[in-house]
Structure 1
Amino acid sequence: MSDFQTETTPTARKQHKCGECYGLIEPGQKYQLVSGCWEGDMGSFKTCLPCVEARTWAIAQPEWMGDGEHLYYFGRLDEDLSDLAQEISSQDGRRFHAYRLQCLMARRRNSTQARRQAA
């Protein structure tokens, strides 16, 4: 539970890295910035909009299992989607959607790694 937090959707003026997929947030792109104090420690988290949409979809699922105190933890979206997919019935297209969101996150992460290796 946060002591306090603010959430904004700024436009990047310089390159940032998403805290969920580790993909690049390029200048001119919008991203989510959550800043606040959690258990006495200040922090800020930048998330690209595709990951924000994935998180929003995941926490709206009836199988979503928060820990009772936190709705989600920053930096765990990939693991959360994997856990959620296992909870969803295999007959349901939502399981495929959860895995697809994970694949899209991996694609953004791998793209960033490939760009760094090429440089």
Structure 2
Amino acid sequence: MSDFQTESTPTARKVHICEECHGHIEPGQKDQLISGSWDGDMASFKTCIPCLEARNWATVQPEWGGDGEHLYYFGQLEEDLSYLASEITSQDGRRFHAYRLQALMSRRRLSAKALRSAA
């Protein structure tokens, strides 16, 4: 549980790395910035808009577990999506959507990794 936190949606002025997919947040793109104190330690987390939308979708699903105290942990969305997908038993396309979001995160991570390797 956070001691306190603030949330904003700034426009990037330089390249940042998303805490979820580890992909690039390019200059001119919006991102979510959460800064605050958790258990007495200050931290900040940048999340790209596609990962923010994936997190928002996942956390409202009825199968979303959470541990009662935390809604989610930063940096674990891809893993959480795989757990969520395996929990979805209905045939309404939500399981496929969870796997698709996970695949898109992986694609952004691999693309950023390739750009960093080429530089």
What is the TM-score when the length of structure 2 is the normalising length? 0.98
Structure 1 residue 37 corresponds to structure 2 residue 37: yes
Identity percentage of aligned residues: 76
How far the C-alpha of 1:90 sits from its partner, in A, is 5.6
Residue of structure 1 in register with 2:100 after alignment: 100
Note the aligned Cα RMSD (angstroms): 0.8
Unaligned runs of 5+ residues in structure 2 are none
Residue of structure 1 in register with 2:53 after alignment: 53
Question: What amino acid is the match of 2:89?
Answer: S
Residue of structure 2 in register with 1:89 after alignment: 89
What is the TM-score when the length of structure 1 is the normalising length? 0.98
* Distance in 2 (alpha carbons) for counterparts of 1:71 and 1:46: 17
Corresponding residue pairs, total? 119
Structure 1 residue 15 corresponds to structure 2 residue 15: yes
Q: Secondary structure at the match of 2:61?
A: coil
Residue of structure 2 in register with 1:25 after alignment: 25
* Distance in 2 (alpha carbons) for counterparts of 1:90 and 1:101: 18
Residue of structure 1 in register with 2:74 after alignment: 74
* Distance in 2 (alpha carbons) for counterparts of 1:111 and 1:9: 23
How far the C-alpha of 1:118 sits from its partner, in A, is 1.6
* Distance in 1 (alpha carbons) for counterparts of 2:98 and 2:37: 30
Question: What amino acid is the match of 2:91?
Answer: Q
* Distance in 1 (alpha carbons) for counterparts of 2:12 and 2:113: 20
Question: What amino acid is the match of 1:28?
Answer: G
Question: What amino acid is the match of 1:16?
Answer: H
Question: What amino acid is the match of 2:97?
Answer: H
Residue of structure 1 in register with 2:113 after alignment: 113
Residue of structure 1 in register with 2:5 after alignment: 5
